[in-house]
Amino acid sequence: MAHTVLHSSRHVPAGWLNWIRHSCSWSGHPRLKFRTLASVVQPRVTPVSRPREGCSTPVNGSLQLRHASSQTSASDFGGVSILNDWAKHSIFVSTSTDPFFNLSLEDMLFRRHDKTKPLLLIYRDTPCVVIGRNQTPYKEINLAELNRLKIPFIRRKSGGGTVFHDLGNTNYSIHLARTTFDRHVTAQVIVRALQRLGLDAGVNDRNDICIGTNKVSGSAYKIVNNRAYHHGTMLISTRLDTLGNVLRVNKDNLITKGVASVRSPVCNLQQHNPGIGHEEFTNAVIDEFRDEYSVRTEVCFVSDSKEILDEPDIRNGMVELQSWEVLYGQTPEFTHKLERQFPWGHVVGPV
């Protein structure tokens, strides 16, 4: 008998993501990944106590627990049986903090989910640096500092610049049909989420989300055939000192055909409101996504359990992201200009 059940809710109550992350050990079943929650309409960000398995009464008046009984056929999700229940969902929150898993999950949802439906994915990563598809790591990253801190870098499949992820940063990804995709509209979804949290946020001329003159979210985009997405970071309480150190690199003598990052002053949301955390931001984005795209499906919480890790799309994606061919082999052509001053003259040589 399969032991995979779905864990979903209309909202992500404050503090719940931490409990969900440890739900496997609580359940006592090593193969249990998800549970299902049905929402009762209540104020949006309401802390709830941890539910009892099998409870069918509201918990603190905001949520009630039930088990999923999906009738979705395998063909609805490309024949991937473990993902049967995902086909009916449009909002996904990853409880994994593995950046290779989360980027593979994002790519799989982009390629395999219903191309006509809006989709939202939210996740956090342990410390890593993520470069754009057309960037040169030697120009964008302080590789010596990364090695010292034992932080990996990853080449994503979208364009744009280099970003730093840690648990103080929350990532969002909005997928839409190409015919309805508008990056200005998706940016406003995030801006309204911040305004819902009492922040005076706006969008600059580069479509970066800012508070005042400081950027709090950088964005990148991908369009393939009839599907497109806008994904971005949100600096909530990230280590800005580490961000500066790993992205600070002096490579003026490196001439590359790759896309260079645009450096901007940044700040954390908690510098403006210390009460904002991952859960509060997640709830606000979910609310605005629902309002903008008229989405009423429950939230699907995704863990990096063995069954999911064994899915070919996830497994192969994680291997690919860590391969030399992707990390370095896809680096655009570049020339390193070496300069040295000697007593007898100045020497410049391209390598």
Asked whether the beta carbons of 332 and 257 are under 8 A apart, the reply is yes
Backbone angles phi, psi at 168, to 5 degrees: -90, 5
pLDDT at 100: 97
Q: How far is residue 263 from each of residues 156, 162, 230, measured CA to CA in Å?
A: 19, 10, 20
| CB count in 10 Å sphere of residue 338 | 10
Q: Which residues pair with 229 in a beta bridge?
A: 175, 222
Q: Which residues contact 55 (CB under 8 A, 6 or more apart)?
A: 64, 65
Per-residue pLDDT at 250: 56
**How far apart (Å, rounded) are the C-alpha atoms in residues 324 and 299?**
35
pLDDT per residue rounded down to tens, the chain (351 residues): 333 334 444 454 444 444 344 433 333 333 333 333 333 223 333 332 332 222 222 222 222 222 233 332 333 334 344 466 777 899 999 999 999 999 999 999 999 999 999 999 999 999 999 988 777 777 788 888 999 999 998 998 887 888 999 999 999 999 999 999 999 999 999 999 999 999 999 999 888 999 999 999 989 999 999 999 999 999 999 999 999 898 866 555 545 544 455 567 899 999 999 999 999 999 999 999 999 999 998 899 999 999 899 999 999 999 999 988 887 765 544 454 445 555 665 545 444
Picking from 232, 264, 210, 252, the residue whose alpha carbon sits closest to that of residue 336 is 252
CB 208 within 8 A of CB 218: yes
In terms of Cα–Cα distance, which of 259, 305, 316 is closest to 107?
316
CA-nearest of 92, 77, 82 to 20 is 92
| pLDDT of 58 | 26
Q: Are 63 and 39 in contact (CB under 8 A)?
A: yes
Q: Write the DSSP symbol of residue 115.
A: T
> What strands lie across the sheet with 254-256, from one edge to the other?
254-256, 334-342, 345-350
pLDDT of amino acid 1: 39
Return the CATH number of the domain spanning residue range 8-330: 3.30.930.10
- For residues 100 and 321, the answer to whether their CB atoms sit within 8 Å is yes
| Cβ contact 134:259 at 8 Å | yes
| Domain ranges across the chain | 8-330
